[in-house]
Structure 1
Amino acid sequence: MSNRFARAGALVVATGTALLLSSGVASAHVTAKIIGEAAEQGAYSKITFRVPNERDDSGTVKLEIKLPADAPMSSVRPKPMPGWTAQVTMATLDEPIESHGAEITEAASSVTWTANQGTRIAPGEFGEFELAVGPLPEVEELVIPAIQTYESNEVVAWDQVPGDDGEEPESPAPVIELAPASEDDAHGGAAPAANETDGEESDDTAAAEDASDSTARWLGGAGLVVGALGLGFGAGAMMRARRAGQQ
């Protein structure tokens, strides 16, 4: 019986190890995510590209991402990253797009981060590269191919799109799923400032503040009265105690 349990335990450990190794291999590629907020069509957001180093003897020194020409975004701005130089390449659009009432005839087609002298993503490490983009296009999925270059001059293209069966390809491209724009999209209008509210709301606010202030003053005065009475009762008690002691 003990041998049977031992064999079963060994099988469970082996299976778990295999699953961990396979998931690690499958996930060791360039990915793109919008972290901490909803990825909605028409919104402005930040895309984070995570770049793991898959080589034991060479560091990553360059990352290039390809933005889809059929889903352009009028604003693409890389976040400064110490030790790296970012370059945005623009391209003329086949069909102009409109953004904030203006016609846009060109948009970013690619962004390239190049490591400065002495900088790299070392073996066993990963780097994160960020873009502020928008408005996000009206598509369900935003496919952004990435090209990773090692200091050995090896180039790895992460540009394969998942098939209809949903199975992940060998070199998958980063993909971001976009939800339809919500009706109460925050980008449709900004919240009014305190001094931009209407007169009725300002009057109500002022009345509420006056009432609150009056209540606070009344409570403060009542507290002083109660305190004074307490001191009077205490002094009277002490005097009576002294008289009783003298008698």
Structure 2
Amino acid sequence: MRVFADGAKQESPATLRFRVPSEKADATTVRVDVSLPKGVTSTAIPPAPGWKQKEMSSPQGVTQIMWTATAGHELKPDAHRYFDVKVGPLPNKASIAFDVAQTYSDGSVVNWNERQTGAKEPEFPAPVLVLDAAAAKAELTRQEAPAQQTPTATASPAPAAAAREEGAGGRPLLLWTAVGAAIVSIGAVVILSRGTSNRP
């Protein structure tokens, strides 16, 4: 599912072209619903031969346009066609996403409404009209950055403190203990020697 608009610019009218593929091997596309987000207003809906069209607006400012195939004009498997909508001045945004619901003859509905938030494209992406490529790319980069960040391991203060204690106090303590033991040993030897020399 894609949307195109030749020469579309921010704050200028445009003609939106929705390319609808029929991707099921055992069913035909019989209905297409396009939701125009708030800020995008339709001014005309060019005829789509073989399809009836209807336009509805919600209190929230969302416009829904519905195309329904007449008998014999269903969109067959592996085929595609365009549905056009003329709109007033586009909003001052880097990109505009549209929600599209595609109904098949077997009753199943595919909702093309998933937003891309990183480098990986979703399974059923919403059609997006890019008005400012640089700004749209920057927005995707900002959305992708948090996902790429990984927690940084923080060294425990205990081993560091233990190392400092060993370097600053541990070794001197052992040294003084060894020296003390040596002095005691020497004293014992001296006393023993004196005791031996005083014997008759």
Superposed pair shares fold, TM > 0.5: yes
Superposed CA deviations along residues 155-210 of structure 1, whole A, max 9, x for unmatched, are 100100001x2321111000001149xxxxxxxxxxxxxxxxxxxxxxxxxxxxxx
The equivalent position to 2:83 in structure 1, one of 126, 129, 133, is 129
Indicate the SS of the match to 1:92: coil
C-alpha spacing 1:75/1:109, structure 2 compared with 1 (3 Å): closer
C-alpha separation in 2, matches of 1:137 and 1:86? 25
The one-letter code matched in structure 1 to 2:32 is L
Computing the radius of gyration from Cα coordinates, the structure with the larger value is 2
Please tell me the residue identity of whatever aligns with 2:98.
I
Question: Identity, % of aligned pairs?
Answer: 32
Matched letter for residue 48 of structure 2:
M
Alignment of 1:166-185 (within 5 A): 166-179=119-132
Tell me how far apart the structure 2 counterparts of residues 110 and 76 of structure 1 sit (CA, whole Å).
13
Residues 120-176 of structure 1, C-alpha deviation per residue, up to 9 Å, x if partnerless?
11112111100111111111110001110111111100100001x232111100000
Q: How does 1:53-202 map to 2 (within 5 A)?
A: 53-69=22-38, 72-93=39-60, 107=61, 109-163=63-117, 165-179=118-132
Give yes or no for contact 2:42–2:85 (8 Å, CA) kept in 1: no
CA distances 1:22-56 after superposition (whole Å, capped 9, x unpaired): xxxxxxxx111113x2x211111111000111111
Contact between 1:75 and 1:135, CA under 8 Å: does it hold in 2?
no
The code of the aligned residue for 2:121 comes to E
Q: Aligned residue for 1:32?
A: 3
SS in 1 for 2:58: strand
Structure 2: where are the runs of 5+ without partners?
134-200
Instruction: Tell me the secondary structure at the aligned position of residue 119 of structure 1.
Output: coil
Q: Which structure 1 residue ranges, 5 or more long, are not aligned? A: 1-29, 94-106, 181-247
What amino acid is the match of 1:169? P
TM-superposed CA distance for 1:108, in Å, is 5.2
**What SS does the aligned partner of 2:114 have?**
coil
Q: Distance in 1 between matches of 2:126 and 2:42?
A: 22
* Equivalent-residue separation in structure 2 for 1:148 and 1:136 (angstroms): 24
TM-score by length of 2: 0.62
1:158 and 1:171 in contact (8 A); partners too = yes
- Cα distance 1:49–1:89, how it changes in 2: closer, same or farther (>3 A)? same
TM-score when scaled to structure 1?
0.51
Q: Can you list the C-alpha shifts for 1:53-102, whole angstroms capped at 9, x where unaligned?
A: 11111110100011113xx2343421101110111111235xxxxxxxxx
CA distance in 2, matches of 1:115, 1:174: 21
